[in-house]
Structure formats: structure tokens, C-alpha cells
Amino acid sequence: MRAYRSLEWHDSVIRMLDQRLLPDRIEYIDYTDYRDVAGAIKAMVVRGAPAIGAAAYGLALVASHSTARAVAALHDELVAAANVLHAARSTAVNLAWALNRMLARTAAPNLQSVDQIRQAVLREAHAIAKEDIRTNKQLDLNALPLVPDNATIIHHCNTGALAWVDYGTALGVIRTAHEHGKRVQVYVDETRPRFQGARLTAWELKQLGIPHSVIVDSASGHLMRTAGVDLCVVGCDRVAANGDTANKIGTYNLALVAYAHGVPCYVMAPTSTIDLSVPNGDAIEIEERAPDEITCVGDEQVTPDDVQVKNPAFDITPARYITAIITEMGIAYPPYEQRLREMVERAEAARNAQESASG
């Protein structure tokens, strides 16, 4: 597969693949101002988890272009920019996770000059991007035994290389299974209203040479009843401490249908997506997006004028409908609380150990 990077850093510029234009056109946009980066996250030029990278590199832009002479002044600029970037999208926790991690790094007592902070910010943004690749690859390997040798799989939204820095989570599992010689056939939920499945996941699967058919989101019940489906794999935007999972709208319906048919539904969740500070799904804010995502398909309006619209971008799947949650630290089965906590703590300890080892 030709490697299209969702986002790259070149000489104080962030270059992003404009995902709104795929699969028709491959175009990149360069950003030098963090406010434009926040706008790009909101408009979904970049989406899924690369928004993390965009946010982290957004702070690197601030540091790199700042004229501040004092450490405190630069730190204030970074905090203000982090608030703007954070406000761009609310449900996905990785955004906040990356920004907090970046700010914690810049506040380290050993950084005593503006230049040192500048370098530390960029180093941390690169570290987050690298870690993302490593983490997802491990997660994909951990999930591999859950995929039968001949597997028919339903996948929702886009969770592949476009949704991460490289490889991805749920789509990464499918890719890994294919690379390990398993015969996989994927039903790709189109994922209304923005068609991340039809536009992005199908595009990635085509390049990977993995057999797939795009389906409307509501076809999953029919296919489970008539064609046979072995498993559903989905990503996530935030997992609560009890395992309730926020993911792209439609995931809950898919999980319920899977539950009714005895089909396992697996959530792929890097530990950075597990938010132990929220006890359950009710405490997760659900982003509401603009009505025209529903009233229009492309340039065509499909509803009467002035129709009322409700457009939640995500939903919560209660933990009881999730068969297992797979992270880079292993597999969690219900009840989730203790195992998720343990995996998050182990991941943090491993990260801290690595940081101290690299000085």
C-alpha cells in the first residue's frame, strides 16, 4: 500500500492530507498557525486520532513561531493555544490527553530557556506520533487470535492509517489478519452522515487488496441473519472506567444487533483512549455537529427546507454489549473496571520508565 500520511511536520509547518476530498483527490494543506489547525480539526480536514497529532504539532507551531523571550510568557501562550485546540472537538479524549501531556512536558523544571521548551515541545509531538504507531501495531497483534482464519467482519467508521498516524486500530486488526494469511471479507458500514466508511475505509481496503463490500449502516442485522458475520470490530473515541464506549454514531446500533445475533463485538482501544476520570458513558460529552451534514449529500440537499435536525456525532455503547476491549497491553473481558485500570497504569508506568531512560 502506498503510504499516505494523514499528517507530517516539515520545518515548522504542519502538512495535512485533506480527508474531506478523499477518495476523489489527494491534496495537502500546509498550516503555520495553530488557530487554523484548530479550524482544520473542527472542519475535519484531519479527523479520528490524527487530530491528536495535529493538536500536539499545533503546540509545536506555537513554540516554534513564538517571539516570547521569557519561559513564563511562552508557557502562557502554549496554555492559551491548548485551550483553543481542545475546544475544536469534544468527545475524543485523545485530543485532551495529548495536549495535557504536551503541557506537562513544557512545565518540566529542567527546562529553563525558551529554546529548551521549543525543542521539548517538538520532541514530545514526535514522540506521541511514534508511540501511536508502536501502540497500534501491538494492539493489532493482541487482537489477532480473536479473528478466525476465515472471517467475515463488519467494520464501522474509519479506524485505519487515515484515522491514526499509521496502521490504525480496528482496521489495523483487519490488515494484520490479512497480512498473517487469514482470509478476511469485510462489510464496510458506510457510516452516515459523513461516510467515513464509504469514502475512507473502502479506499484504504482497496489499496490493501482486502476483499470488502460497502453496506448501508442499517444492513448489519440482515447480513448477520442471512449471510453470517463472525465478528464486528470498531474503534473508539473515549472509553469510560466501566467500559462504556463512545464511538462514531451507529456503533451502539451495531453492537445491539451483534448482541442479538450472538456475534462478538470488539472495541479496539489504545490505553490513551481510556478515560478513568469518567465513571461511565453518561458522563461523556457527545459532540453535536452541523445540520447540513444530514440535510445535504455532497452539494445536494435531500431534505425539505428548514427541516429540524439532530446530529449527534457519537454514541455510547454500554459495556454489557461489548465482548472485549483490546489495548496495546492486552485483552479486557467484562467486568472491565479493574482490568482497564490496570492496563492504563501499566502503560503509564512503561511510558515513564522509557522517558527516564531517554533522559
Name the residues annotated as catalytic: 237
Q: Does 163 bind ligand MRU (CB under 6 A)?
A: yes
| Distance (Å, whole) CA 246 – CA 171 | 17
From candidates 47, 118, 175, 192, binder to ligand MRU by CB under 6 A: 47
Nearer to ligand MRU, 106 or 273 (CB): 273
**Residue 293: which H helix or E strand, with range?**
helix 292-295
Provide the minimum distance between the beta carbon of 159 and ligand MRU in the complex, in angstroms, as a whole number.
4
Q: Does 6 bind ligand MRU (CB under 6 A)?
A: no
C-alpha grid cell, residue 146: 480473536
Q: Does 48 bind ligand MRU (CB under 6 A)?
A: yes
Q: Does 152 bind ligand MRU (CB under 6 A)?
A: no
Looking at 43-51, 96-104, 209-217, 335-343, which segment touches ligand MRU (CB under 6 A)? 43-51
> What distances in angstroms separate CA 26 from CA 151, 212, 295, one per listed residue?
31, 22, 26
Q: For residue 265, give the nearest of 245, 280, 279, 281 by alpha carbon.
A: 245
Q: Does 197 bind ligand MRU (CB under 6 A)?
A: no
Looking at 69-77, 138-146, 158-166, 205-213, which segment touches ligand MRU (CB under 6 A)? 158-166
Specify burial of residue 107 (Cβ count, 10 A radius: 0-12, 13-18, 19+): middle
Provide the minimum distance between the beta carbon of 226 and ligand MRU in the complex, in angstroms, as a whole number.
26
Specify burial of residue 287 (Cβ count, 10 A radius: 0-12, 13-18, 19+): middle
Looking at 44-52, 75-83, 113-121, 340-348, which segment touches ligand MRU (CB under 6 A)? 44-52
From candidates 157, 233, 284, 344, binder to ligand MRU by CB under 6 A: 157
From candidates 90, 106, 158, 176, binder to ligand MRU by CB under 6 A: 158
| Distance (Å, whole) CA 3 – CA 18 | 15
Q: Does 313 bind ligand MRU (CB under 6 A)?
A: yes
Q: Does 339 bind ligand MRU (CB under 6 A)?
A: no
Provide the minimum distance between the beta carbon of 251 and ligand MRU in the complex, in angstroms, as a whole number.
7
For 277, left (φ over 0), alpha (ψ -120 to 50), or beta? alpha
Residue type, 53: G
Nearer to ligand MRU, 230 or 293 (CB): 293
Provide the minimum distance between the beta carbon of 11 and ligand MRU in the complex, in angstroms, as a whole number.
27
Provide the minimum distance between the beta carbon of 216 and ligand MRU in the complex, in angstroms, as a whole number.
17
Window 229-248: residues binding ligand MRU (CB under 6 A): 234-237, 247-248
Look-up of cell digits 482496521: 171
CA 311 from centre of chain? 19
211: cis peptide before it, omega within 30°?
no
| Distance (Å, whole) CA 38 – CA 269 | 24
C-alpha grid cell, residue 124: 514530545
From candidates 169, 176, 295, 317, binder to ligand MRU by CB under 6 A: 169
Closest residue to bound ligand MRU by CB: 235
Look-up of cell digits 490513551: 272
Cβ-based neighbours of 1, under 8 Å, separated by 6 or more: 161, 204, 207, 208
Give the total of residues touching ligand MRU (CB under 6 A): 16
C-alpha grid cell, residue 166: 499509521
Residue type, 211: P
From candidates 14, 45, 49, 127, binder to ligand MRU by CB under 6 A: 49
Task: List interacting residues with ligand MRU (CB under 6 A).
Answer: 47-49, 157-159, 163, 169, 196, 234-237, 247-248, 313
